[in-house]
Amino acid sequence: MTRVVAQGTFDILHPGHVHYLREAAAMGEELYVIVARAENVDHKEAPICPGAQRRDVVAALEMVDDARLGDEADIFAPIEALRPDVIALGHDQHHDPEAIERELGERGIDCAVRRASGREPRHPDEMLSTRLIVERVLERRS
């Protein structure tokens, strides 16, 4: 059975997240999602929603077999525990696939790293970015 791991912040779930997780699920038979802890998010604004809430919302999606919070100290610890066959990266995630593969090799994990595709909005008002959703809320509520 092919085990896939996807990961992300998943702050305000939107259609782009759903697209990414559907593609990740299609890469195998089991999909595990690692939801980043707020203290590990250093490449963008910190998440608005608490980690447990973000995990629970992701876990409720039909394509997700299990969702868990990431490790506080070592982002690779959940991957070591899960031993996936595939790590599915989002199309716009900042991760370097080669660096991930090197770290996996150093930890003795034989795992492919693949990148999911992006998708375009289906209508002019559709937002595929948490940042855009937050900006719209601020604009309309300010």
110 is in an annotated binding site: no
Structural domain spans, the chain:
3-141
10 is in an annotated binding site: yes
| Beta carbons of 9 and 90 less than 8 angstroms apart | no
Structural tokens at position 140: 């309309």
What was the pLDDT predicted at 46?
Answer: 84
76 is in an annotated binding site: no
Tell me which of 3.30.450.40, 1.10.1740.10, 2.60.40.10, 3.40.50.620 is the CATH number of domain 3-141.
3.40.50.620
Residue 135 phi, psi (nearest 5): -60, -40
The region that residue 129 occupies, defined by phi over 0 for left and psi between -120 and 50 for alpha, beta otherwise, is beta
What was the pLDDT predicted at 34?
Answer: 97
9 is in an annotated binding site: yes
118 is in an annotated binding site: no
pLDDT tens track for 38-64: 788 877 788 889 999 999 999 999 999
CA 120 to chain centre: 18
Average pLDDT over residues 107-129: 94
In DSSP terms, 74 is beta-bridged to none
* Contacts (Cβ under 8 Å, ≥6 apart) of 46: 38
Give SS3 for 4.
Answer: strand
What was the pLDDT predicted at 124?
Answer: 92
Give SS3 for 87.
Answer: strand
16 is in an annotated binding site: yes
Average pLDDT over residues 19-37: 97
What was the pLDDT predicted at 43?
Answer: 75
Give pTM, 2 decimals. Answer: 0.93
130 is in an annotated binding site: no
